[in-house]
A = this chain, B = another copy of it.
Amino acid sequence: MSSPPPHHEPARLDVLGIVGVGLIGGSIAAAARQRGLTQRIIGVGRTLSRLETARSQGLIDHATNSIRDLADATCVIVCTPVDRLADDIREVACIVGADTLITDVGSVKSSIVRTVMADTEAASRSEKSGFEHASPTLFDGRVCVVTPAETTPPELVERAEALWSGIGMTTRRMSPDRHDRVLAVTSHLPHLAAAAVASLPTDEELEFAASGFRDTTRIAAGDARLWQAIFSSNREHMLAATDELIDLLQRFSAAIRNDNADALIDLLDRARQHRELFSRLRQAGRENDGE
């Protein structure tokens, strides 16, 4: 599934364009600047007053509404919501030079790759929003999945990997389809399940919910429009993963109905073991990163 990343040449980011200067885009800007990867950062967004604030805080050097201002960019990172990504990437591609690297931080890949085809993609995730939360260390030690299409030139893939490792991430290569399956079961389906669990209690019953409910449903507080777009973009994998979840719930239910304590313990123990493996993997990731 993954292999050790090759040694990357330092990223060439003389002029870095960031489309969508929120938490992710702002953190990329902060990390690139702190690590001395870039001479100049151009921030593109819809609300110029907010972009000007980001500029006055030193996060970006130039604030603009217009993607045309990216004509001289060495690299453009598109950080807009997943349902706008493909259009924004195409628009950028019409403006920049042929050797400009265009990449993005969407968490659904296949549908975007099918649309823009020649571009290189990369993934990152978080739930807070706004450049006010931006941090140059947001990506430290996190895994970035680079998902080249079959037609993506190898040189562009390597430049994308150099970019993400340049801001502190560990990179992995994966096909767009495999990436979307992985994101479905590790991120998108947990969100859907959290939303369903949060919806079940009545208002009166919610008074009695405690810390287990709090944690299991935390991500259900996320923006509905954003997650609708993610689910819809990752349609086939979400349908398959939801079916798998329902099958598993039915196995739990059958074990309870049949008073089959052994089967129920087996199901719960398998969950516990997976959860503990996840904790160990995260711990190992942090240690490798020197945290």
Contact = CB atoms under 8 A, between A and B. Distances in A.
Contact of A244 (B142, B200, B272): B200
A211 interface: yes
A128 to B, nearest CB: 10
Interface string A223-259: 1110110011001001101111110111011001101
A182 interface: yes
Interface string A280-291: 011000000000
A250 B242 CA distance: 8
A245 B200 contact: yes
Contacts of A275: 198, 217-218, 220-221
Contacts of A48: none
Interface stretch (A60-68, A155-163, A260-268): A260-268
Given A198-B278, A232-B264, 9 more contacts: A185-B200, A190-B213, A193-B197, A194-B216, A216-B217, A216-B218, A220-B268, A224-B265, A225-B265
